[in-house]
Structure 1
Amino acid sequence: MEPIEINAGSWYLRALRADERVDDRPALRDGGIDDPEYVTDRARQWAAGEHCSWAVCEPTTGELLAEVGLTPTGSAGVLSGWARPGHDEALATASDAVRRFAEGALGLALAER
């Protein structure tokens, strides 16, 4: 599956990136994720349909504030996420948007972890 971008009102959801234009790795480290292959692994999971992951970003700067994940399992799925300190509202809003996408566009019944 190709990554899907989502507009969640005040927040912009996109695939994680680590390239010449955008590098989410410093923000991921702020969130406690220091695996140098994390962004690569998330891209591979998107392509394989194993896990969809969205960087929840401030729309004017593109700064990663949180991450929302969706792990599909047949006709169901599990929604997960984390936020950098002080950005719980961004996570909640983005999680609602991903839930609507998963249920409406993908037809998944969701659980949270």
Structure 2
Amino acid sequence: MYKLYIGEGLSYEYELVESRVRVPAENRVLIVVAYGIKITAIDKDGGEFSQVYDKISPYRDKVEQLVDRFAGLALSPYHLYEVLDDIVEMYIDDFELYAFDSISDHSYRSIDMAI
């Protein structure tokens, strides 16, 4: 997690978040770990505003790079969806590729269940 002090009593926190997503693959459904980003703005009075984009990619390193990049740019939570809408287009196939790779090499890495 990153914490940036923006000034005038305002700070931003950037976090990697984890959830699960169902991915159809061949004749089954896999439950795959999904990584996302949470950005929280905290004002001097302790008020908070957060935005979460929770299913960006099953590849942790890709999402960690985004967290690093957004923290380096001091991206506001108010702009998270605007920025990620364009980026997520590049990652749209990650879940399907991840599921099929896991099935083909029988590794089932980071997969909770195959139904």
- Fold agreement, TM-score > 0.5: no
| Structure (1 or 2) with the greater strand fraction | 2
Please report the TM-score for the alignment, with normalisation by the length of structure 2. Answer: 0.29
Please report the TM-score for the alignment, with normalisation by the length of structure 1. Answer: 0.29
- Which of 1 and 2 has greater Rg? 2
Higher normalized contact order (CA 8 Å, seq sep 6+, divided by chain length): 2
